[in-house]
């Protein structure tokens, strides 16, 4: 679903991504962790075509993002869930979810916002998945922040994408609501076989909801493993990497057990195999 090789991105002289390699399978919920400024949003924005990488290869939902592609084509395969849910407050909940279908209907139908009965039924099913079917006819502005975020998820599901990219989707929610939103997102995407990459700042949520966790530090992937392997050493690699700029991760392998020659921290069980495999 997602295949990334040696991806690099700079803003002027600021080198933000230094050769990212990453694959995500259908139905896999990958949580991306890292300090502010590590490059998480930049990587997500490359994956949804908003940023143009400098070099490398990048395929998302079958689309080669290094080649010319249309926004419409991308919207058929890749959906975004934003921190501030981006719902239209004055529209009904159902209409908001139906906007997820706009990329799939013809131009005229899109302009006139004419939806087929099958789209309306799909929107209802997506609302059921996030536990909001009973709110379909209500104005979105009457919902709580957590409910609005679930509308945003239902809208993303209505796109019937192969990939969902979520950029800090629970940053503005209380812990109980945040867990429930992540649960809805994870369950729906698992059941529908959608690949998800979700940026988070909360390690607890990564452990609880991630099928896999990747850690970025200063534009390099420094951890890639199961949530259970997110131990002190892994967190150290992700969050206490201030010296890494001066001392590249690969050279620090003596100090950190499990760091592969490519600088990716892997759990002890996986590191020998990865090293043997030339990672
Ligand atoms: N549009 C842009 N123009 C110039 N520099 C940018 C732009 N977007 C991000 N940057 C820079 O790229 C670096 C990485 O930023 P990015 O937003 O990707 O980090 P992040 O890990 O997502 O951080 P946060 O967790 O705070 O969202 C930072 O140095 C930032 O200043």
Stated pTM of the model? 0.84
What's the gap in Å between 190 CA and the centre of ligand 1?
A: 29
> Which parts of the chain fold into alpha helices (H)?
40-47, 71-75, 93-98, 107-112, 117-129, 145-158, 175-192, 203-209, 232-239, 268-276
- Judging by beta carbons within 10 Å of its beta carbon (0-12, 13-18, 19+), is residue 254 exposed, middle or buried? exposed
What's the gap in Å between 152 CA and the centre of ligand 1?
A: 23
Cα 20 to Cα 58: distance, rounded to the nearest angstrom:
10
List the one residue out of 231, 233, 228 whose CA is nearest residue 211.
228
What's the gap in Å between 42 CA and the centre of ligand 1?
A: 6
Determine whether the shortest distance from the Cβ of 52 to ligand 1 is under 6 A: no
CATH top-level class of 1-77+211-279: alpha beta
Asked if the interface predicted TM-score (ipTM) of this complex is over 0.95, the answer is: yes
Choosing from 13, 40, 82 the residue with most ligand 1 atoms within 8 A of its CB, the one to mutate for a pocket test is: 40
Taking the domains of the chain in order of start, what are their residue ranges? Answer: 1-77+211-279
Determine whether the shortest distance from the Cβ of 38 to ligand 1 is under 6 A: yes
3-state secondary structure of 195: strand
Cα 213 to Cα 218: distance, rounded to the nearest angstrom:
17
Per-residue pLDDT of the chain (279 residues; tens, 9 = 90+): 899 999 999 999 999 999 999 999 999 999 999 999 999 999 999 999 999 999 999 999 889 999 887 777 888 899 999 887 788 999 999 999 998 888 776 555 555 566 788 899 999 999 999 999 999 999 999 999 999 999 999 999 999 999 999 999 999 889 999 999 999 999 988 999 999 999 999 999 999 999 999 999 999 999 999 999 999 999 999 998 654 443 443 333 333 344 444 445 554 444 433 433 333
- Judging by beta carbons within 10 Å of its beta carbon (0-12, 13-18, 19+), is residue 121 exposed, middle or buried? exposed
């Amino acid at each position: 679903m997602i295949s990334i090789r040696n991806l690099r991105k700079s803003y002027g002289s600021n080198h933000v991504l230094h050769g990212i390699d990453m694959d995500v399978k259908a139905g896999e919920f990958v949580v991306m962790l890292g300090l502010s400024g590590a490059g998480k949003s930049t990587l997500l924005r490359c994956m949804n075509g908003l940023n143009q990488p400098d070099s490398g290869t990048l395929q998302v939902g079958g689309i080669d993002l290094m080649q010319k592609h249309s926004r419409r084509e991308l919207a058929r395969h890749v959906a975004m869930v934003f921190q501030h849910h981006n719902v239209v407050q004055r529209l009904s909940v159902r209409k908001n979810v139906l906007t997820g279908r706009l990329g799939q209907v013809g131009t005229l139908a899109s302009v006139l916002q004419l939806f087929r009965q099958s789209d309306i039924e799909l929107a209802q099913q997506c609302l059921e998945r996030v536990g909001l079917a009973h709110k379909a006819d209500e104005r979105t502005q009457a919902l709580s922040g957590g409910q609005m975020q679930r509308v945003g998820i239902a809208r993303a599901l209505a796109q019937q994408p192969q990939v969902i990219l979520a950029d800090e989707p629970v940053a503005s929610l209380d812990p109980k609501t945040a867990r429930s939103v992540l649960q809805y997102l994870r369950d729906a995407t698992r059941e529908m076989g959608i690949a998800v990459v979700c940026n988070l700042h909360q390690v607890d949520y990564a452990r609880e909801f991630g099928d896999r966790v990747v850690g970025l530090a200063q534009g390099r992937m420094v951890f890639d493993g199961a949530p259970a392997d997110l131990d002190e050493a892994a967190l150290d690699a992700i969050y206490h990497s201030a010296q890494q700029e001066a001392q590249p991760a690969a050279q620090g392998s003596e100090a950190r057990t499990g760091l592969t020659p490519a600088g990716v921290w892997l759990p002890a069980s996986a590191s020998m195999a990865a090293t043997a495999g030339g990672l």
